Amino acid sequence: MQKSRFISEGEEESFKTIRTKAVARSLISKLTLHAMNNNQNRFYTSISIYYSEIFPYNPMQLQYVKSRTGDLRAKRLLDIGCATGELAFQLATEGANVTGIDLNEDLLDQAIRKRGGASNPEFQSGDMLELENDFKAEQFDAILCFGNTLVHLETKEMVAQMLNGVSQVLKPGGNFLLQILNYDYILDEQVSELPLIETGNIRFLRQYLFDKNSPKIRFYTELYLKKENQTVVNETTLLALKSNELLDLLRNAGFQDIELFSNFKQDAFGGKHVPLVVSAVTAPD
């Protein structure tokens, strides 16, 4: 028979201190996330009108998805960071049932207007850290996260939380397809500027500002609107996640058959190239 034991005054105070610290950590984490989301929203709202012109649909993304998932008909796909929905529309045309999530309401409004009266794709406001709360377990056949979306999370702990959520809402043997930038190359070579984007309406300058001994990069942009003769300046913070760190995080989240590529054509990863494209699979039943 187990004997009862009374908690001493000292132990009770210790428990109270532990609880208080845990609540404080949780509150700080929520406030940090709120501030992070606000900063990112301001950035994407500032470029939202011209987003599809700055980042037009890339047909190689669709080919990459099809090469990894096979026939898309009737498959359920989640597009994380769907923006104006360009890829989601193409996936739906191929017969997939697509849900696109984004935090920026201006980008989502554009996607919804383009969809018109159709029900597929479905677009909704969603946080990539809340996948387990927003969706059912094993709901999707494949999950996509392109456009360097992942590194808007501020810490590796947040990335781990997101990847665990992905693994929970993917079906066994489901595909997780990811694209960020090759921060091995960017950090090693101190690449300070990405290629200039220019069209008839805009000129988009993108620069990296490095902080010594920090895993973060300051992403500085200037969007020049030619017709308006105006310049929109912005800055946001990105987590410079190196390939070995990403591999560890994916493995810890239970992913298998992880492959890294230098582009959506699936050329070998490594060297002086900007993209990093990933394919990973959840464990089968």
In this structure, are residues 224 and 233 in contact, taking their beta carbons and an 8 Å threshold?
no
**119-155 pLDDT, tens digit each:** 999 999 999 999 999 999 999 999 999 999 999 999 9
Q: Is residue 6 a part of any domain in this protein?
A: no
Q: Is residue 156 a part of any domain in this protein?
A: yes
Q: Is residue 7 a part of any domain in this protein?
A: no
Q: Is residue 8 a part of any domain in this protein?
A: no
Q: Domain count of the chain?
A: 1
Question: What CATH number has the domain bearing residue 237?
Answer: 3.40.50.150
Q: Is residue 100 a part of any domain in this protein?
A: yes
Rounded distance between C-alpha atoms, residue 80 and residue 167, angstroms: 14
Alpha carbon 221 to its chain centroid, in Å, reads 19
- 3-state class of 54 per DSSP? helix
pTM for this entry: 0.85
Q: Is residue 62 a part of any domain in this protein?
A: yes
Q: Is residue 64 a part of any domain in this protein?
A: yes
Rg of the chain in Å (alpha carbons):
21
CA torsion angle 158 164 170 176 (round to 10): 60
**60-90 pLDDT, tens digit each:** 999 999 999 999 999 999 999 999 999 999 9
Q: Is residue 20 a part of any domain in this protein?
A: yes
Output the six-digit token pair for 4: 């009862």
Task: Identify the domain containing residue 20 by its residue range.
Answer: 13-285
